[in-house]
Structures are given as structure tokens and as C-alpha cells.
Structure 1
Amino acid sequence: MRKLSSLVAAGLVLALAGVGTAQADAEPANQGQQQVVAPPRGKAAATANPLYRTGRLADSHCSPGSLPRGSTSAYKRFLQRVTNCLNSSWSSQFRKAGLSFSKPRLRIITKKVRTPCGPWSTGADGIYCSTDRTMYMLITRTQLRQPFALGITRLMAHEYGHHVQNVSGIWGYYWSARYSSGKSMQLQLSRRSELQAECFSSVFMSTIQDSLPVDQAEWDYTVDWFRKNGAKGWPQNDHGRGPTQAAWMKRGFGSGSPGSCNTWKVSSRYVS
């Protein structure tokens, strides 16, 4: 496909810690009837999170418009609109779960920056930083020359998935478990986190397949690209093998539900 180079650029972007900035507005999860509860804590926050029982992700009817070549302003507008779509879908989902929700910040950059989470990750085009709850999205010259709407939307939805983990309490367990684990277990925990974020991303892509739209041939090609290349951008196995990444992408896209993305309760062989 002609979009391969853009897909590669957008593909090697799944950062672990998180780094980004538009003002994060607090949005209550209830509308006067449902009680809002604090994010759960401990292992159950990851293995039995209330989000898993909320059914199919709310459809934001996302239609961010065209993504023409060579226009930085159009690219920024596209990223902001996709973020608005993600805010709409996930805020509704948190409301159904009875969890409080806050939007992430969005910071669009044209060169790599140091974030509150540390230096920019090698090979990354986007990062979510939990310290300032910000998605940092890098617009590269390659992306401007060969924009790929599906690829950049999938990437944003992945980084947003880390924000979902953060504000839902999942990352509270993840980081505490990492702190007390050895190297091998740390890598496994990282894979559980990254594969869940990728599954969350695919859930979102499933709900907007008609309005973005998501061309089925392009999506199948994207999944196959990750199956073959998804692990190549990382020096250690902290994101999962390519076939494992592709499997969770298929799972999320096929179900459209966050409940299909519980990477914390499955056997280690499913997050290899």
C-alpha cells in the first residue's frame, strides 16, 4: 500500500509512561442520578475494573474531516477533533461505570520535547504522560507528506487508552506492582498495559468505522503490519510480540467493548 511509510511512522509510537496540552476539564460521571465513585484500588482495579461491565463503547459519531497533505494547521485540527471524539466516547463510558472522569490535555508538537515523565522515547511519535495527564503528539515531515487518517487516529486512541488506564485506577495497580517486581515481571506488566491500550484503541476504531470512516482493507493491512513489525521498534519485549499485538487489536475491534480488553486476568501466554 502507498500508505506504508506513514503507517510505519504512526506505528512505532506506543510509549509506556506517558507525556502532552489543552486544558483538562473535569467532567462528572453522573448526571444527577448515578453516584460517582473514586477509582478502584489494588489488583482488582486492573482485573475487575467497572469499565469492563459497561458494554460496547459509546459511539461519538466521529467525523474529524479530511487530512490533506502538507498542512500543519489541518493536521492540528484533525488531532483536536479526534481528541474530542475520544473525550465524548470515554466520558460516556465512565459515566456508565459510575466512575469520575477527567479529560487529558493535548499538546501538539513539531519537535521532540522533554516531558515531566522524562526524555522523549526513541522512535515514538506520540506519548501519554501520567504526571501531567497529557498526550504529546508529534507531527513529523513524513506524516505531513503522507498523512494517514486511520494510522494517526489509531495512535491517538492508543495514547488515550493510557489515560483511561490512569484515571480508572488501572495504572495505580500497574505502577505499584512494577515497583515491587523483578525485571522479567516488569516486562510482563508493561506488556499487559501496552496490549490493553492497543485493545482500547481498537475498540474505539470499531465504534467509528462508519463515520471516520475505517476502510476494512486498510484496517486489515494495519493489523497485519503490526503482526509482522509491531515488536521491531522496541529494544526489549515490553509491548508484546507482533502476533500478540495483532491478536488484541482484532479482539478489541471485533467486540467494540472495553470488557474484551482485560489483559490483567489472562494467562501470561496471551501477553507474550
Structure 2
Amino acid sequence: MEWRGRRQSSNIEDRRAEGPVGGGFGGSGPGGGFRIPVGSGRGGGLSIGTIIFLVVIYFVFKAMGIDLLQVVSGGQPTPAGYERSAQESSPGEEDTKAFVATVLAETEDTWNGIFKANGETYREPRLVLFRNAIQSACGNASAASGPFYCPADQKVYLDMSFFDELSQRFKASGDFAQAYVVAHEVGHHVQNLLGILPKVNEQRQNMSEAQSNQMSVRTELQADCFAGIWGKYTQQKGLLEQGDLEEALNAATQIGDDTLQRRTQGYVVPESFNHGTSQQRSTWFKRGFDSGQLSACDTFNNPV
């Protein structure tokens, strides 16, 4: 994707300095948020007693001014209370931040134009960059939750380390694969502005778990389709390079529910799907990309 030298969005909140360097003790996705799934592995875990012992040891060393998380990760011991600021991030991180800001700007151009053409005003979302964990209006979230959109504050949340996971763990490399992730979450914002998310959330309250999961799938597939619409407009600007479309389609495939479940647990449970299969996700992204039309993305009144 040809992105360097283009406008960067001012709707970036860099909150990477809010938390200490090093991972937390896990976490789950925020309530009410709409996220890119990251799956979870299964296997032997630690006993409660072992966990308590490790936590006690951690805080004992912390009181001595030694951060065991840094020691374990191969870094130097970190004085207690020290937090790395955003200004101390690596050149690679700053390059990724510039890329994200540019992609966000391109989504702003696309959706401002589409909304204006339909006599509406597009309210641009803010994108929050964080490290490890964050507090959103939808609740607490960790990097393990994956990128997500919170309709309560109309913000997209992203720990940029997810891009490394996308490439290494999910085998979905390339800058347009990363752009697809941002465009998908912005797609949820578009759904929110169109009144789709509030209606979906209201309907899901009176549904069974299976029905709720099916509704979630349709919601996620529409966000994929909206991401495809953005891809279409990006192509029309001449910004796509050879192989970019394939990168996005591969990313959509690699984070399909069936593919994730096979990778993490070795078998598939279709009734638990809440984002869509690999085929569905790539199909709906391509549908938006081919048409460039909102009308092509009605996943609620058409077979998915």
C-alpha cells in the first residue's frame, strides 16, 4: 500500500505511556466492544497455589525495585514505578504509528464522502494506541483481547503489537492486512452511526446464546464488507500495490472462527461462531471491495 507522504489523521490518542512495560496477568475482551478475535490456546495451566506464590514473589521483587517481567523478557531490571513513555518507543513503533494514522485518515476521507453523498454527516472516530492494557468506556481490555471498537465512547482501541501477532501467529503479513484490521474496526463505527449496533444490541438481549452468536456473525461480516468498501476507494486512489488485495483476503481468512478454532483447540464448534467462517469473512470483504456500495453489505437480510 502506497501510504508514505500522505495525510495522517489527528484523531489519534497515544496512550502507550499509561501502563508499565511488560505484560499483565491476562484478561478478556471489553463488554460491549466489537473486536478482532485472537483465539485462545488450551493446555496445562498453573495451579492456584503456584499463581499466588508467583504473584507474591513478583511484588516482593517489585518492592526492591526490580521488575521481574523485564528480567524474564531479557531486559534490564526496571526501577519500581518507572513507565516508558511514548517518546521512548522504537523507530519501528513510530513508523507503525504513522501508518495507522495514515490508514485512519484514508478511512475518514472515504466515509466522509459516502455520508455526504447520502446527505449525512460522518462523525470521525478516535483511535487509541495502548500497550498491554487499557481502560475504555466498555471496560478493561488487554492486548490479548485484540483490537476492538467501543460504541460507548466511539473509539477504536489498538495495541500495535497485534500486527506482529497477525503476521507471526496468524500468518497474515503485509501492510494491507494491517490496514484491513483498522478498516474493520472503523466499520463498526459506521454501523454505530447508522444505528445498526444499538438495534443489534437491543435484539440480542432477548435471544438465546445460539441466536445471539448468529446475530454477532452478521454484524462482524458487515464490518468486513464495510472494510471492503474502504478498500475499493483506496484502490480508486491508486494506492494499492500488487498483492495488497490478497493480503487483506488472507487476513480475513486467517481470523475466521473455524480457522481459529482448528488452530487453538483442534476442532470446530459452529454454534459458537461469533465472527464468521474464513470463507464468509473473505467473501464479504470482497463483496464490499467489488461493489463499493453500502447496499451490497446488508448481511441482516441476505444469506451469509
TM-score of the pair, normalised by structure 1: 0.66
- In structure 2, the partner of 1:264 is 300
| Counterpart residue identity of residue 151, structure 2 | S
Aligned residues: 206
Structure 2: runs of 5+ lacking an equivalent: 1-28, 36-89, 168-172, 262-268
Aligned match of 1:111? 132
Contact 2:143–2:162 (Cα < 8 Å) also in 1: no
Paired AA for residue 212 in structure 2: Q
Return closer, same or farther for 1:154/1:117 CA change in 2, 3 Å cut-off. same
Counterpart-to-counterpart distance in 2, 1:135 and 1:111: 15
Structure 2 equivalent of residue 159 of structure 1:
185
Residues 110 and 233, structure 2, Cα contact 8 Å, conserved in 1: no
For residues 244 and 141 of structure 1, do their structure 2 counterparts lie closer, same or farther at Cα, with a shift above 3 Å needed? closer
1:205 lines up with 2:231 in the alignment: yes
Q: Does 1:233 align with 2:260?
A: yes
Structure number with the bigger relative contact order (C-alpha 8 A, sep ≥ 6) is 1
Q: Matched residues in 1 for 2:250 and 2:33: separation?
A: 26
Per the alignment, do residues 121 and 203 of structure 1 end up closer, same or farther by CA in structure 2, a change over 3 Å counting? farther
**1:188 maps to which residue?**
214
Judged with a 3 Å threshold, the aligned counterparts in structure 2 of structure 1 residues 122 and 190 are, in CA distance, closer, same or farther, namely: farther
Query: Which ranges in structure 1 are unaligned for 5 or more consecutive residues?
Result: 1-12, 20-68
Residue 65 of structure 2 corresponds to none
1:125-144 paired onto structure 2 within 5 Å? 125-140=146-161, 143=164
CA separation in 2, counterparts of 1:196 and 1:76? 26
In structure 1, the residue matched to 2:99 is 78
Q: Secondary structure at the match of 2:249?
A: helix
Cross-structure match for 1:253: 289
- Code of the residue aligned with 2:301 in structure 1: it is K
- Equivalent residues of 1:229, 1:242 under 8 A apart: yes
SS of the residue 2:276 aligns to: coil
Alpha-carbon separation, structure 1, partners of 2:181 and 2:164: 13
Partner residue, 2:69: none
What code does the residue aligned with 2:273 have?
A: N
RMSD value over aligned CA atoms? 3.0
Shift in Å at residue 216 of structure 1? 4.5
SS at match of 1:238: coil
